[in-house]
Amino acid sequence: MLYTKETESREVKELGGLWKFRADNSDGSKLGFEESWHIRPLSETGEVIDMPVPSSFNDITQDRKLRDFVGCVWYEKNFIPPKHWKMVKQRIFIKFESAHYHSTAWLNGQHIVSHEGGHLPFQAEVTRLIQFGSVNRITVAINNTLTPETLPPGTIKYPRNPNKYPKGYFAQNYFMDFFNYAGIHRPVKLHTTPNLYIDDITVVTNVTKATGVVDYVIHVKGSGCSSMVSYKIRLLDADGHEVAIGQTASGQLLVPNANLWWPYTMSDHPAYLYTLKVRVEDKTSFDVYDLPVGIRTVKLNKTKFLINDKPFYFLGIGKHEDADIRGRGFDYPIMVKDINLMKWLGINSFRTNHYPYAEEILDLCDEHGIVVIDESTAVGMKKAENFGDISFYNHISVMEELVSRDKNHPSVVMWSVANEPNSTLAVAGPYMKNIIKYTKLLDSTRPVTLVTGGDLKARFDQAAKYGDVICMNTYYSWYGDDGHLDVIYKQAEANLREWFDMYQRPVIQAEYGAGCIAGFHTDPPVMFSEEYQEEFLKEYFRVFDELRREFLVGEMVWVFADFMTHQSTKLAGGNTKGILTRQRQPKSVAKIIKQRYHQIGNSTTAESADQTYCQSKCKNAN
């Protein structure tokens, strides 16, 4: 599914703004379906409120019940299609960039699409249902209930003691440490394509000596037959000059002395993007689409992660898209602010913890040279029932949608199929082996990993061995040996070495961090103080500075900014491990990260890596 944008042959009408909204508070949230709320205006079914789209409905009102609502909510939007669309023979689609979790949509009372899962797009063709010259009504029902088979999974608890719980009481339990924000999170678009249209483009790049290689495949659908379709493919450089052409549905373009796509820390001229201009036509219609192309390679050896055959070191961050008041609602100001903050801090990479982010974010990463580990929604898989056949089917569907959407982004250098599954379970091994194998069938050009809870010990893990890179999360002196900073170096160093010795492949510290309440200061440092967070990271830095000379290829501090979680006596105000507050103000540890990341830059030679290591050792000795 190509990103939806306007071209010479396509038009887009945004359907964002204020929608009508109501939650179905009936027993089991069944009333809306039983009474068919979609067949008439939503206001006729009961009281409605205004709800911004995109956003999460949880944080918009002062209603405590709506904030924690579990069940089905209903959205409605009226719109008038452009009159001239009727005059042109074309297809009309409604596309949802993301809605969480189970979604069903109707247009003018007619079902158009159902989709399971959040964070990835889905759409429906509505050419025959659109009514020109009158108001059209789109209705969407979204159920955020999590079950053992959803990704992420959850359970519903039904306490039966009438002396302790009110009638109809139930609670949603889930096994991830972030809040289950729900709603229409990203833009909704009404868009057109010609009858003959470009359905998909796949681009794979390589470099042979100084020549860039761009292999492409164009898939078309619609009127005409394949033998009657003509193709015009042009590759333009950043100045708009044509550097290669093609005339077939698939082919190879060669670019002598190619400008490569580099992470911004590896080149004085990073993130160079070409433009692939595609035009297809038959006797009745034509379609055009422009796709940014970054020419680069990604490879691995036993101890290195290589971009364009040079060692890349992940100076990274864990990130949550819901780390602001809009929940996971897409927001351009926050997106641009975060990119600017990352470059200010010297961050060259992040992982999309723990779900795919908006494609607009990846576009910015392509342009700015920020490297991305693209992660699926498989977080919180803790029980054997989470590894069954239904979960597996949902999981491969997520990977299909993720790879299909993000495969052409040069910033995406690795797929992550899961975060911290209970990989000591016997069922986890074959399950993850097949998920990773399937992902490699979808895309053979990128490494595939899963992120493990690294303190589980390598010898007990059944799944991480199937990944190309060992990615692990550990929190020594935080979740265990609480407050004892002196254990970090020994435990972290021994753990990282154990994983490398067992599996002989590059290792990334994918998460590590300590909670910190902004403005809370103590000396000596105690947990949740800014001083403790600083000392915590410094102890990990000692380990990283030693092991990145050997097999460590990345460090990704947890987390970019504070974010909301479920309510708990252990998490006052949510997760406070951010190096920034939820309002994007730096804690004192941000200066330490900034100094370290800018100092290291991205050492691409053994000599510079050794020099930085020696400087660090001398500083620690003093």
Could you say which of 76, 149, 281, 420 is catalytic?
A: 420
The CA–CA distances, whole Å, from 3 to 96, 227, 367 equal 11, 27, 16
- DSSP string over 115-156: EE-SSS-EEEE-TTT--TTS-EEEEEEEE----TTSSS-EEE
| Helix H or strand E segment including 206 | strand 197-208
Query: Nearest to residue 144, comparing CAs of 184, 182, 110, 95?
Result: 182
- Crossing angle of helices 530-547 and 588-600, in 10° steps, is 20
d(CA 602, CA 348): 9
Would you call 14 a catalytic residue per the annotation? no
Interhelix angle for 389-406 vs 428-442, to 10°? Answer: 30
How far apart are the C-alpha atoms of 584 and 495, rounded to whole Å? 33
Edge-to-edge strand ranges of the sheet holding 310-311? 298-300, 305-307, 310-311
Residue 523 has a CB neighbour count (10 Å cut-off) of 7
DSSP structure class, residue 321: T
SS3 label, residue 349: strand
Q: Decide: 53 and 184 in contact? Cβ < 8 Å.
A: yes
Separation CA 210–CA 255 (nearest Å): 9
Q: Return d(Cα 117, Cα 164) in angstroms, integer.
A: 34
Residue 156 CB neighbour total at 10 angstroms: 13
Distance CA 192, CA 205 (A): 30
Residue 355 φ then ψ, to 5°: -170, 160
**Cβ atoms of 377 and 421 closer than 8 Å:** no
Measured CA to CA in angstroms, residue 373 lies from 8, 270, 304, 515 at distances of 33, 18, 16, 24
Q: What is the DSSP pairing of strand 183-184 with strand 188-194?
A: unpaired
Query: Element (H or E) spanning 622, and its range?
Result: none
DSSP 3-state of 581:
coil
In contact, 254 and 216? CB cutoff 8 Å: no
The tokens describing 418, both together, are: 């899961």
Active centre residues (catalytic): 420
